[in-house]
Structure 1
Protein backbone atom coordinates (compact mmCIF):
# COMPACT_ATOMS: atom_id res chain seq x y z
CA UNK A 1 0.00 0.00 0.00
CA UNK A 2 1.32 3.44 -0.92
CA UNK A 3 2.28 5.72 1.95
CA UNK A 4 1.43 8.80 -0.12
CA UNK A 5 -2.01 10.07 0.95
CA UNK A 6 -4.38 11.72 -1.49
CA UNK A 7 -4.88 15.37 -0.50
CA UNK A 8 -7.75 17.33 -2.00
CA UNK A 9 -7.39 21.03 -2.72
CA UNK A 10 -10.01 23.42 -4.00
CA UNK A 11 -9.26 25.29 -7.23
CA UNK A 12 -10.17 28.89 -7.93
CA UNK A 13 -12.75 29.78 -10.58
CA UNK A 14 -13.25 32.58 -13.08
CA UNK A 15 -16.55 32.93 -14.92
CA UNK A 16 -16.73 33.43 -18.68
CA UNK A 17 -16.18 37.01 -19.81
CA UNK A 18 -16.29 38.40 -23.35
CA UNK A 19 -14.13 36.09 -25.46
CA UNK A 20 -12.69 34.19 -22.47
CA UNK A 21 -14.30 30.90 -21.46
CA UNK A 22 -14.87 30.03 -17.82
CA UNK A 23 -11.93 28.23 -16.27
CA UNK A 24 -10.65 26.81 -13.00
CA UNK A 25 -7.05 27.22 -11.84
CA UNK A 26 -4.66 26.95 -8.90
CA UNK A 27 -1.25 28.41 -8.09
CA UNK A 28 1.43 25.76 -8.48
CA UNK A 29 2.87 26.45 -5.02
CA UNK A 30 -0.08 24.71 -3.35
CA UNK A 31 0.14 21.38 -5.15
CA UNK A 32 3.94 21.45 -5.40
CA UNK A 33 4.21 21.89 -1.62
CA UNK A 34 2.01 18.84 -1.05
CA UNK A 35 4.08 16.82 -3.53
CA UNK A 36 7.30 17.90 -1.81
CA UNK A 37 5.83 16.91 1.56
CA UNK A 38 5.04 13.37 0.38
CA UNK A 39 1.37 13.66 -0.56
CA UNK A 40 -0.50 13.35 -3.86
CA UNK A 41 -2.60 16.44 -4.64
CA UNK A 42 -6.09 16.11 -6.10
CA UNK A 43 -7.17 19.44 -7.55
CA UNK A 44 -10.93 19.98 -7.27
CA UNK A 45 -12.94 22.45 -9.38
CA UNK A 46 -16.05 24.03 -7.81
CA UNK A 47 -18.73 21.48 -7.01
CA UNK A 48 -22.42 22.29 -6.99
CA UNK A 49 -24.12 19.70 -4.80
CA UNK A 50 -23.56 17.95 -1.45
CA UNK A 51 -23.54 14.47 -3.01
CA UNK A 52 -20.52 15.38 -5.15
CA UNK A 53 -18.76 16.84 -2.11
CA UNK A 54 -19.40 13.65 -0.15
CA UNK A 55 -18.10 11.48 -3.00
CA UNK A 56 -14.98 13.63 -3.24
CA UNK A 57 -14.20 13.48 0.47
CA UNK A 58 -14.71 9.71 0.48
CA UNK A 59 -11.78 9.56 -1.93
CA UNK A 60 -9.18 11.75 -0.17
CA UNK A 61 -7.56 11.59 3.26
CA UNK A 62 -7.02 15.31 3.90
CA UNK A 63 -7.77 18.67 2.38
CA UNK A 64 -6.02 21.98 1.70
CA UNK A 65 -8.26 25.06 1.43
CA UNK A 66 -6.34 27.54 -0.71
CA UNK A 67 -6.23 31.33 -0.60
CA UNK A 68 -7.79 33.70 -3.09
CA UNK A 69 -10.16 36.63 -3.17
CA UNK A 70 -12.48 37.56 -0.29
CA UNK A 71 -15.34 35.70 1.35
CA UNK A 72 -18.58 37.58 0.74
CA UNK A 73 -19.55 38.89 4.22
CA UNK A 74 -23.22 38.90 3.21
CA UNK A 75 -23.15 35.10 3.43
CA UNK A 76 -22.41 35.48 7.15
CA UNK A 77 -24.95 38.22 7.87
CA UNK A 78 -22.67 41.26 7.43
CA UNK A 79 -22.76 44.17 5.00
CA UNK A 80 -20.48 44.28 1.96
CA UNK A 81 -17.50 46.58 2.62
CA UNK A 82 -16.24 48.64 -0.39
CA UNK A 83 -12.78 47.03 -0.08
CA UNK A 84 -14.12 43.48 -0.43
CA UNK A 85 -13.51 41.71 -3.74
CA UNK A 86 -15.63 38.57 -3.40
CA UNK A 87 -14.75 35.14 -4.65
CA UNK A 88 -16.75 33.94 -7.63
CA UNK A 89 -20.05 32.65 -6.17
CA UNK A 90 -19.49 29.21 -7.73
CA UNK A 91 -16.22 28.80 -5.83
CA UNK A 92 -17.51 30.21 -2.55
CA UNK A 93 -20.61 28.01 -2.60
CA UNK A 94 -18.46 24.95 -3.25
CA UNK A 95 -15.85 25.91 -0.64
CA UNK A 96 -18.50 26.36 2.04
CA UNK A 97 -20.05 22.96 1.32
CA UNK A 98 -16.63 21.31 1.38
CA UNK A 99 -15.63 22.98 4.65
CA UNK A 100 -18.89 22.03 6.34
CA UNK A 101 -18.44 18.38 5.35
CA UNK A 102 -14.77 18.41 6.40
CA UNK A 103 -15.80 19.65 9.83
CA UNK A 104 -18.53 17.02 10.10
CA UNK A 105 -16.05 14.26 9.27
CA UNK A 106 -13.22 15.79 11.34
CA UNK A 107 -11.01 15.34 8.27
CA UNK A 108 -7.48 16.78 8.57
CA UNK A 109 -7.47 20.22 6.98
CA UNK A 110 -4.98 23.00 6.28
CA UNK A 111 -6.50 26.39 5.46
CA UNK A 112 -4.34 29.10 3.90
CA UNK A 113 -5.33 32.76 3.56
CA UNK A 114 -9.00 32.81 2.60
CA UNK A 115 -9.08 29.10 3.47
CA UNK A 116 -8.21 29.88 7.10
CA UNK A 117 -10.83 32.62 7.21
CA UNK A 118 -13.47 30.21 5.88
CA UNK A 119 -12.50 27.62 8.49
CA UNK A 120 -12.94 30.24 11.19
CA UNK A 121 -16.34 31.58 10.07
CA UNK A 122 -17.73 28.11 9.33
CA UNK A 123 -16.88 27.08 12.89
CA UNK A 124 -18.50 30.16 14.46
CA UNK A 125 -15.86 32.91 14.38
CA UNK A 126 -15.93 36.16 12.45
CA UNK A 127 -13.67 38.53 10.50
CA UNK A 128 -12.41 42.07 10.30
CA UNK A 129 -13.43 43.21 6.83
CA UNK A 130 -10.64 45.74 6.31
CA UNK A 131 -7.55 45.90 8.51
CA UNK A 132 -6.81 49.54 7.67
CA UNK A 133 -10.15 50.62 9.16
CA UNK A 134 -10.71 48.01 11.85
CA UNK A 135 -7.12 48.00 13.14
CA UNK A 136 -5.67 51.37 12.09
CA UNK A 137 -2.46 50.80 14.07
CA UNK A 138 -1.59 47.63 12.17
CA UNK A 139 1.45 47.35 9.92
CA UNK A 140 0.81 46.77 6.17
CA UNK A 141 -0.33 43.23 5.46
CA UNK A 142 -0.61 43.68 1.71
CA UNK A 143 1.53 45.52 -0.81
CA UNK A 144 0.01 45.74 -4.33
CA UNK A 145 3.50 46.41 -5.71
CA UNK A 146 5.09 43.41 -3.99
CA UNK A 147 3.30 40.04 -4.15
CA UNK A 148 6.03 38.62 -1.89
CA UNK A 149 5.51 41.21 0.88
CA UNK A 150 6.73 39.84 4.23
CA UNK A 151 6.33 40.74 7.90
CA UNK A 152 7.49 39.25 11.18
CA UNK A 153 5.58 36.71 13.26
CA UNK A 154 5.25 35.97 16.97
CA UNK A 155 4.43 32.29 17.57
CA UNK A 156 3.23 30.24 20.51
CA UNK A 157 5.99 27.73 21.27
CA UNK A 158 3.57 24.95 22.34
CA UNK A 159 1.94 24.67 18.92
CA UNK A 160 2.50 23.18 15.49
CA UNK A 161 3.58 26.58 14.17
CA UNK A 162 5.99 26.91 17.09
CA UNK A 163 7.37 23.45 16.39
CA UNK A 164 7.92 24.36 12.74
CA UNK A 165 9.63 27.70 13.24
CA UNK A 166 11.30 27.39 16.64
CA UNK A 167 12.90 30.39 18.32
CA UNK A 168 14.26 33.55 16.71
CA UNK A 169 12.83 36.10 14.32
CA UNK A 170 10.39 34.70 11.79
CA UNK A 171 9.32 36.40 8.58
CA UNK A 172 6.39 35.20 6.48
CA UNK A 173 4.77 36.14 3.19
CA UNK A 174 1.60 38.15 3.66
CA UNK A 175 -1.05 39.54 1.32
CA UNK A 176 -4.42 40.14 2.93
CA UNK A 177 -6.71 43.00 3.97
CA UNK A 178 -9.22 40.92 5.93
CA UNK A 179 -8.31 39.09 9.13
CA UNK A 180 -9.80 37.03 11.94
CA UNK A 181 -11.60 39.02 14.62
CA UNK A 182 -13.29 36.50 16.95
CA UNK A 183 -11.71 33.05 16.91
CA UNK A 184 -14.05 30.11 16.46
CA UNK A 185 -14.82 27.93 19.51
CA UNK A 186 -12.47 24.96 19.67
CA UNK A 187 -9.57 26.86 18.09
CA UNK A 188 -6.75 28.92 19.55
CA UNK A 189 -4.42 31.55 18.14
CA UNK A 190 -0.90 30.18 17.65
CA UNK A 191 0.73 33.05 15.74
CA UNK A 192 0.24 36.79 15.40
CA UNK A 193 1.95 39.62 13.65
CA UNK A 194 3.55 41.89 16.30
CA UNK A 195 0.70 44.38 15.63
CA UNK A 196 -1.76 41.79 17.01
CA UNK A 197 -3.27 40.59 13.72
CA UNK A 198 -3.97 36.84 13.91
CA UNK A 199 -1.78 34.86 11.51
CA UNK A 200 -2.39 31.22 12.55
CA UNK A 201 -5.04 29.20 14.37
CA UNK A 202 -5.06 25.54 15.38
CA UNK A 203 -7.75 23.16 16.58
CA UNK A 204 -7.79 22.32 20.29
CA UNK A 205 -10.14 19.39 19.62
CA UNK A 206 -8.51 16.02 20.25
CA UNK A 207 -10.29 14.36 17.31
CA UNK A 208 -9.55 16.98 14.66
CA UNK A 209 -6.25 18.08 13.12
CA UNK A 210 -7.08 21.50 11.69
CA UNK A 211 -4.68 24.38 11.18
CA UNK A 212 -4.99 27.70 9.40
CA UNK A 213 -2.35 30.20 8.34
CA UNK A 214 -3.18 33.71 7.22
CA UNK A 215 0.31 33.93 5.72
CA UNK A 216 1.28 31.96 2.61
CA UNK A 217 3.80 29.14 3.17
CA UNK A 218 3.31 27.97 -0.43
CA UNK A 219 4.39 31.16 -2.21
CA UNK A 220 7.62 31.68 -4.11
CA UNK A 221 9.13 33.86 -1.37
CA UNK A 222 8.43 31.32 1.37
CA UNK A 223 11.38 30.25 3.52
CA UNK A 224 12.89 26.78 3.76
CA UNK A 225 11.04 26.30 7.05
CA UNK A 226 7.63 26.93 5.49
CA UNK A 227 7.56 23.56 3.73
CA UNK A 228 7.55 21.95 7.17
CA UNK A 229 3.95 23.13 7.67
CA UNK A 230 2.98 20.92 4.73
CA UNK A 231 5.15 18.07 6.05
CA UNK A 232 3.44 18.25 9.45
CA UNK A 233 0.06 18.25 7.71
CA UNK A 234 0.83 15.26 5.48
CA UNK A 235 2.24 13.37 8.50
CA UNK A 236 -1.00 14.08 10.41
CA UNK A 237 -3.04 12.79 7.46
CA UNK A 238 -0.98 9.57 7.37
CA UNK A 239 -1.41 9.09 11.11
CA UNK A 240 -5.19 9.57 10.88
CA UNK A 241 -5.39 7.09 7.98
CA UNK A 242 -3.34 4.49 9.88
CA UNK A 243 -5.58 4.89 12.94
CA UNK A 244 -8.67 4.29 10.80
CA UNK A 245 -7.09 1.16 9.27
CA UNK A 246 -6.27 -0.21 12.71
CA UNK A 247 -9.84 0.40 13.89
CA UNK A 248 -11.25 -1.48 10.90
CA UNK A 249 -8.79 -4.34 11.41
Structure 2
Protein backbone atom coordinates (compact mmCIF):
# COMPACT_ATOMS: atom_id res chain seq x y z
CA UNK A 1 0.00 0.00 0.00
CA UNK A 2 1.47 3.35 -1.06
CA UNK A 3 2.18 5.95 1.55
CA UNK A 4 -0.36 8.78 1.81
CA UNK A 5 1.12 12.14 0.74
CA UNK A 6 1.46 15.00 3.22
CA UNK A 7 -0.41 18.04 1.89
CA UNK A 8 0.18 21.45 3.41
CA UNK A 9 -2.53 24.04 4.02
CA UNK A 10 -1.90 27.69 4.77
CA UNK A 11 -4.01 29.08 7.60
CA UNK A 12 -5.92 32.35 7.77
CA UNK A 13 -5.16 34.83 10.54
CA UNK A 14 -7.23 37.26 12.59
CA UNK A 15 -5.47 39.61 15.04
CA UNK A 16 -6.65 40.02 18.61
CA UNK A 17 -9.92 41.88 19.08
CA UNK A 18 -11.96 43.05 22.05
CA UNK A 19 -14.09 39.95 21.65
CA UNK A 20 -11.17 37.56 21.88
CA UNK A 21 -7.54 36.63 21.20
CA UNK A 22 -5.75 36.38 17.87
CA UNK A 23 -6.85 33.33 15.87
CA UNK A 24 -5.39 31.06 13.22
CA UNK A 25 -8.06 29.04 11.42
CA UNK A 26 -8.84 26.95 8.32
CA UNK A 27 -12.35 26.12 7.09
CA UNK A 28 -12.85 22.38 7.60
CA UNK A 29 -13.83 21.78 3.97
CA UNK A 30 -10.21 22.05 2.87
CA UNK A 31 -8.76 19.39 5.12
CA UNK A 32 -11.85 17.19 4.83
CA UNK A 33 -11.46 17.19 1.04
CA UNK A 34 -7.74 16.35 1.26
CA UNK A 35 -8.46 13.43 3.61
CA UNK A 36 -11.28 12.13 1.43
CA UNK A 37 -8.98 12.25 -1.62
CA UNK A 38 -6.29 10.19 0.11
CA UNK A 39 -3.92 12.81 1.51
CA UNK A 40 -2.92 13.79 5.02
CA UNK A 41 -3.51 17.53 5.66
CA UNK A 42 -0.83 19.48 7.52
CA UNK A 43 -1.87 22.99 8.59
CA UNK A 44 0.80 25.68 8.70
CA UNK A 45 0.15 28.87 10.72
CA UNK A 46 1.43 32.16 9.24
CA UNK A 47 5.13 31.63 9.93
CA UNK A 48 7.32 34.72 9.79
CA UNK A 49 10.78 33.22 9.22
CA UNK A 50 11.53 32.12 5.65
CA UNK A 51 13.89 29.39 6.80
CA UNK A 52 11.14 27.95 9.00
CA UNK A 53 8.75 27.90 6.05
CA UNK A 54 11.37 26.16 3.91
CA UNK A 55 11.98 23.55 6.62
CA UNK A 56 8.26 22.81 6.77
CA UNK A 57 8.04 22.48 2.98
CA UNK A 58 10.92 19.98 3.03
CA UNK A 59 8.58 17.55 4.77
CA UNK A 60 5.57 18.03 2.46
CA UNK A 61 4.61 16.37 -0.82
CA UNK A 62 2.18 19.04 -2.04
CA UNK A 63 0.34 22.17 -0.96
CA UNK A 64 -3.18 23.60 -1.15
CA UNK A 65 -3.30 27.42 -1.02
CA UNK A 66 -6.66 28.30 0.51
CA UNK A 67 -8.92 31.21 -0.31
CA UNK A 68 -9.76 34.15 1.92
CA UNK A 69 -9.65 37.93 1.83
CA UNK A 70 -8.27 39.99 -1.04
CA UNK A 71 -4.60 40.39 -1.91
CA UNK A 72 -3.28 43.94 -1.60
CA UNK A 73 -2.86 45.22 -5.19
CA UNK A 74 -0.39 47.88 -4.00
CA UNK A 75 2.17 45.12 -3.46
CA UNK A 76 2.07 44.45 -7.18
CA UNK A 77 2.19 48.07 -8.31
CA UNK A 78 -1.56 48.77 -8.60
CA UNK A 79 -3.85 51.20 -6.80
CA UNK A 80 -6.14 50.03 -4.01
CA UNK A 81 -9.74 49.71 -5.20
CA UNK A 82 -12.57 50.65 -2.83
CA UNK A 83 -14.12 47.18 -3.19
CA UNK A 84 -11.01 45.36 -1.96
CA UNK A 85 -11.30 43.77 1.48
CA UNK A 86 -7.74 42.99 2.44
CA UNK A 87 -6.62 39.83 4.16
CA UNK A 88 -4.53 40.46 7.26
CA UNK A 89 -0.99 41.62 6.40
CA UNK A 90 0.60 38.84 8.46
CA UNK A 91 -1.19 36.21 6.40
CA UNK A 92 -0.39 37.91 3.11
CA UNK A 93 3.31 38.19 4.02
CA UNK A 94 3.31 34.48 4.79
CA UNK A 95 1.35 33.50 1.67
CA UNK A 96 3.61 35.43 -0.69
CA UNK A 97 6.79 33.98 0.80
CA UNK A 98 5.21 30.54 0.83
CA UNK A 99 4.20 30.70 -2.84
CA UNK A 100 7.68 31.87 -3.85
CA UNK A 101 9.29 28.91 -2.09
CA UNK A 102 6.72 26.48 -3.52
CA UNK A 103 7.46 27.73 -7.04
CA UNK A 104 11.24 27.68 -6.52
CA UNK A 105 11.18 24.00 -5.54
CA UNK A 106 8.40 23.04 -7.99
CA UNK A 107 6.28 21.59 -5.21
CA UNK A 108 2.84 20.49 -6.48
CA UNK A 109 0.31 23.18 -5.60
CA UNK A 110 -3.45 23.69 -5.88
CA UNK A 111 -4.55 27.30 -5.45
CA UNK A 112 -8.21 28.01 -4.63
CA UNK A 113 -9.90 31.43 -4.81
CA UNK A 114 -7.34 34.02 -3.77
CA UNK A 115 -4.87 31.12 -3.71
CA UNK A 116 -5.24 30.80 -7.49
CA UNK A 117 -4.94 34.57 -7.86
CA UNK A 118 -1.68 34.54 -5.89
CA UNK A 119 -0.37 31.62 -7.96
CA UNK A 120 -1.00 33.66 -11.10
CA UNK A 121 0.47 36.88 -9.70
CA UNK A 122 3.55 35.16 -8.32
CA UNK A 123 4.42 33.89 -11.79
CA UNK A 124 3.99 37.23 -13.54
CA UNK A 125 0.26 37.40 -14.28
CA UNK A 126 -2.16 40.05 -13.05
CA UNK A 127 -5.75 40.53 -11.89
CA UNK A 128 -8.92 42.44 -12.53
CA UNK A 129 -9.61 44.14 -9.20
CA UNK A 130 -13.40 44.44 -9.49
CA UNK A 131 -15.35 42.50 -12.10
CA UNK A 132 -18.49 44.72 -12.12
CA UNK A 133 -16.41 47.77 -13.13
CA UNK A 134 -13.68 46.27 -15.30
CA UNK A 135 -15.87 43.64 -16.98
CA UNK A 136 -19.31 45.28 -16.95
CA UNK A 137 -20.82 42.70 -19.30
CA UNK A 138 -19.84 39.79 -17.06
CA UNK A 139 -22.34 37.64 -15.23
CA UNK A 140 -22.70 38.14 -11.47
CA UNK A 141 -19.84 36.31 -9.74
CA UNK A 142 -20.93 37.03 -6.18
CA UNK A 143 -24.30 37.38 -4.51
CA UNK A 144 -24.10 38.54 -0.86
CA UNK A 145 -27.66 37.30 -0.34
CA UNK A 146 -27.01 33.82 -1.76
CA UNK A 147 -23.98 31.81 -0.55
CA UNK A 148 -25.10 29.05 -2.95
CA UNK A 149 -24.76 31.32 -6.00
CA UNK A 150 -23.58 29.35 -9.06
CA UNK A 151 -22.79 29.92 -12.72
CA UNK A 152 -21.91 27.78 -15.73
CA UNK A 153 -18.43 26.55 -16.59
CA UNK A 154 -16.87 25.97 -20.00
CA UNK A 155 -13.88 23.63 -19.85
CA UNK A 156 -10.92 23.21 -22.19
CA UNK A 157 -10.54 19.70 -23.58
CA UNK A 158 -7.38 17.74 -22.89
CA UNK A 159 -6.93 19.24 -19.42
CA UNK A 160 -7.32 18.14 -15.81
CA UNK A 161 -10.66 19.93 -15.74
CA UNK A 162 -11.95 17.76 -18.58
CA UNK A 163 -10.87 14.63 -16.68
CA UNK A 164 -12.92 15.86 -13.72
CA UNK A 165 -16.07 17.01 -15.47
CA UNK A 166 -16.23 15.27 -18.85
CA UNK A 167 -19.19 16.25 -21.03
CA UNK A 168 -22.47 17.82 -19.98
CA UNK A 169 -23.66 20.97 -18.27
CA UNK A 170 -21.40 22.18 -15.47
CA UNK A 171 -22.22 24.69 -12.77
CA UNK A 172 -19.87 25.82 -9.99
CA UNK A 173 -20.13 28.07 -6.95
CA UNK A 174 -19.04 31.69 -7.27
CA UNK A 175 -18.15 34.12 -4.46
CA UNK A 176 -15.52 36.48 -5.89
CA UNK A 177 -15.21 40.02 -7.24
CA UNK A 178 -11.56 39.82 -8.39
CA UNK A 179 -10.31 37.46 -11.09
CA UNK A 180 -7.36 36.62 -13.33
CA UNK A 181 -6.69 39.07 -16.16
CA UNK A 182 -3.41 38.24 -17.88
CA UNK A 183 -2.43 34.61 -17.30
CA UNK A 184 1.12 34.02 -16.13
CA UNK A 185 3.70 32.68 -18.57
CA UNK A 186 3.85 28.91 -18.35
CA UNK A 187 0.15 28.58 -17.47
CA UNK A 188 -2.98 28.04 -19.55
CA UNK A 189 -6.65 28.70 -18.90
CA UNK A 190 -8.48 25.39 -18.47
CA UNK A 191 -11.99 26.67 -17.64
CA UNK A 192 -13.96 29.87 -18.00
CA UNK A 193 -17.35 31.15 -17.03
CA UNK A 194 -19.53 31.58 -20.16
CA UNK A 195 -18.86 35.34 -19.89
CA UNK A 196 -15.13 34.71 -20.38
CA UNK A 197 -13.97 35.16 -16.77
CA UNK A 198 -11.10 32.78 -15.98
CA UNK A 199 -12.17 30.06 -13.54
CA UNK A 200 -9.27 27.57 -13.70
CA UNK A 201 -5.60 27.52 -14.74
CA UNK A 202 -2.99 24.78 -15.12
CA UNK A 203 0.79 24.76 -15.42
CA UNK A 204 2.41 23.87 -18.75
CA UNK A 205 5.82 23.76 -17.08
CA UNK A 206 7.18 20.25 -17.52
CA UNK A 207 8.48 19.76 -13.98
CA UNK A 208 5.73 21.57 -12.06
CA UNK A 209 2.26 20.21 -11.33
CA UNK A 210 0.33 23.36 -10.44
CA UNK A 211 -3.40 24.06 -10.82
CA UNK A 212 -5.86 26.67 -9.65
CA UNK A 213 -9.61 27.21 -9.45
CA UNK A 214 -11.40 30.48 -8.83
CA UNK A 215 -14.41 28.55 -7.54
CA UNK A 216 -14.32 26.55 -4.30
CA UNK A 217 -14.51 22.73 -4.65
CA UNK A 218 -14.04 22.35 -0.88
CA UNK A 219 -17.10 24.42 0.10
CA UNK A 220 -20.46 23.14 1.32
CA UNK A 221 -21.94 24.45 -1.94
CA UNK A 222 -19.60 22.27 -4.06
CA UNK A 223 -20.85 19.23 -5.97
CA UNK A 224 -19.51 15.67 -5.89
CA UNK A 225 -17.83 16.35 -9.24
CA UNK A 226 -16.11 19.48 -7.88
CA UNK A 227 -14.53 17.44 -5.10
CA UNK A 228 -12.91 15.18 -7.68
CA UNK A 229 -10.45 17.99 -8.38
CA UNK A 230 -8.83 17.10 -5.05
CA UNK A 231 -8.60 13.47 -6.18
CA UNK A 232 -6.83 14.55 -9.36
CA UNK A 233 -4.49 16.74 -7.34
CA UNK A 234 -3.58 13.91 -4.96
CA UNK A 235 -3.02 11.60 -7.94
CA UNK A 236 -0.65 14.16 -9.45
CA UNK A 237 1.21 14.54 -6.15
CA UNK A 238 1.62 10.77 -5.86
CA UNK A 239 2.94 10.60 -9.42
CA UNK A 240 5.58 13.21 -8.59
CA UNK A 241 6.55 11.36 -5.42
CA UNK A 242 7.05 8.24 -7.54
CA UNK A 243 9.22 10.12 -10.03
CA UNK A 244 11.40 11.51 -7.23
CA UNK A 245 11.90 8.01 -5.82
CA UNK A 246 13.01 6.74 -9.23
CA UNK A 247 15.54 9.56 -9.54
CA UNK A 248 16.84 8.89 -6.01
The TM-score with structure 1 as length reference comes to 0.98
1:31 aligns with 2:31: yes
- State the distance in 1 between where 2:76 and 2:221 align: 33
Superposition misfits of 4+ residues, deviation over 3 angstroms: none
Match of 1:225 in 2: 225
Match of 1:143 in 2: 143
Match of 1:7 in 2: 7
1:243 aligns with 2:237: no
Match of 1:22 in 2: 22
- After TM superposition, the structure 1 stretch with the greater mean CA deviation from structure 2, 192-201 or 2-11, is 2-11
Residues 72-117 of structure 1: CA deviation (Å, up to 9, x unaligned): 0011011100000011000000000010000000100000000000
Equivalent residues in 2 for 1:1-249, closer than 5 Å: 3-248=3-248
- State the distance in 2 between where 1:73 and 1:24 align: 23
The DSSP-based 3-state class of the residue aligned with 1:63 is: strand
How much does 1:59 deviate? 1.0
How much does 1:2 deviate? 5.2
How much does 1:245 deviate? 1.2
How much does 1:147 deviate? 1.5
Residues 8-59 of structure 1: CA deviation (Å, up to 9, x unaligned): 0101110111231100111111000000000000011101011011011001
- State the distance in 1 between where 2:230 and 2:239 align: 14
Residues 118-153 of structure 1: CA deviation (Å, up to 9, x unaligned): 000000000000000000001110111111211100
- After TM superposition, the structure 1 stretch with the greater mean CA deviation from structure 2, 11-20 or 197-206, is 11-20
Unaligned runs of 5+ in 2: none
- State the distance in 1 between where 2:222 and 2:17 align: 33
The DSSP-based 3-state class of the residue aligned with 2:206 is: coil
Residues 138-190 of structure 1: CA deviation (Å, up to 9, x unaligned): 11101111112111000001100111101111000110000000000000001
The DSSP-based 3-state class of the residue aligned with 1:238 is: helix
- State the distance in 2 between where 1:51 and 1:229 align: 31
- State the distance in 1 between where 2:80 and 2:18 align: 26
How much does 1:238 deviate? 0.9
- State the distance in 2 between where 1:223 and 1:17 align: 35
- State the distance in 1 between where 2:27 and 2:233 align: 19
How much does 1:215 deviate? 0.6
Number of residue pairs matched? Answer: 248
- State the distance in 1 between where 2:71 and 2:188 align: 21
- State the distance in 2 between where 1:116 and 1:188 align: 13
Superposed CA RMSD: 0.9
Unaligned runs of 5+ in 1: none
- State the distance in 2 between where 1:68 and 1:82 align: 17
